[in-house]
A = this chain, B = another copy of it.
Amino acid sequence: MPLLVWGSVALDSVETPTAKRDNVLGGSAIFFSYAASYFTAVKLVADVGDDWPGEHTDLLEARNIDTRGLNVLAGEKTFRWRGKYMPNMNDRETLEVHLNVLGKYAPVIPDEYRRSRFVFLGNGAPATQRKVLEQVPDAELVVADTMDLWIKNERDELGELFRRIDGLVLNDAEARLLTGDENLVRAGHAVREMGPKFVVIKKGEHGAMFFSADETYVMPAYPTPDVVDPTGAGDSFAGGMMGYLAEQLSFGPRTLKTALAYGTLVASFTVEDFSLDRMKQIERPDVERRMEQYRRMLSF
């Protein structure tokens, strides 16, 4: 089952304590799409400018990512982000942001995408996320991401969105900000009570937590010694998770838990190099091998 994703596409410049890269492929929709593509066909919707390198489109198309919804807008520039990671590889500082085309135009879902049943709303203004939603009337599973900016400034719109989605993915700091509760177990359930049927709190190197009316659980991150660049880990996590759900055509409790594990593992590959570089080297069997190790790790 194809999976629709709307979100950002970026050209990132990233500095870590040991290396740096300029103008590499990034953005939530890119990491998400590539991560999901191990499991299912993906339909991508995003805006870029005419500075967009055409080879990036080829790279995506080669992985069964439909780019008819990737709008290359003449006279516009692609969203750019420059950031620097601290020695702990967790905290980061944003050095430059050029929004450019990002958030400038209302999202238009191509006709060929409108029957999509699995939908991911990448981080964006909640009102804009809702505009995507209105164009996919057959959606059966809608999962959204958000960020501190909207939690601080668009609380009402966010509440509106929460009542229309099935799942919400956010990080630990965002969950604390949204609820004012430092305890993530309580915070997770408090977010769930705002509307989403399930909530996933991403904790970076510490894994992810899941909350539904019936379940609370934690999945540790896969312990990789090779953390080169954490950019896109959270989006890859969401992509792996949603990709697996779309492949399984299901989102029952057991499938969801397995999906979180797949998200965890794809993200563990993403951080092992800059941009999509590590993901480009792997195929589904590599993910499955790591899954076997992960299952062994968690069984006793």
User: A residues near B, CB below 8 A?
Assistant: 87-89, 182-186, 189, 203, 205-207, 209, 216-221, 223-225, 227, 254, 257-258, 260-261, 297-300
Contact = CB atoms under 8 A, between A and B. Distances in A.
Contacts of A87: 182
B218 A186 contact: no
A88 B182 contact: yes
25 contacts: A89-B182, A183-B227, A184-B205, A185-B223, A185-B224, A185-B225, A203-B206, A206-B206, A206-B207, A207-B218, A207-B220, A209-B223, A216-B223, A217-B297, A217-B298, A218-B220, A218-B221, A218-B223, A218-B297, A220-B220, A254-B300, A257-B300, A260-B300, A298-B299, A299-B299
Contacts of A203: 206
A260 B297 CA distance: 12
A219 B225 CA distance: 16
A300 B258 contact: yes
Contacts of A257: 300
Contacts of A225: 183, 185-186, 189
A292 to B, nearest CB: 13
A206 to B, nearest CB: 4
Most buried by B among A203, A209, A221, A298: A298
Contact of A89 (B88, B183, B221): B183
A198 to B, nearest CB: 15
Nearest to A223: B185
Given A183-B225, A189-B225, 11 more contacts: A87-B182, A88-B182, A186-B225, A206-B207, A216-B297, A218-B220, A218-B223, A220-B220, A257-B300, A261-B300, A298-B299
B217 A223 contact: yes
A202 to B, nearest CB: 13
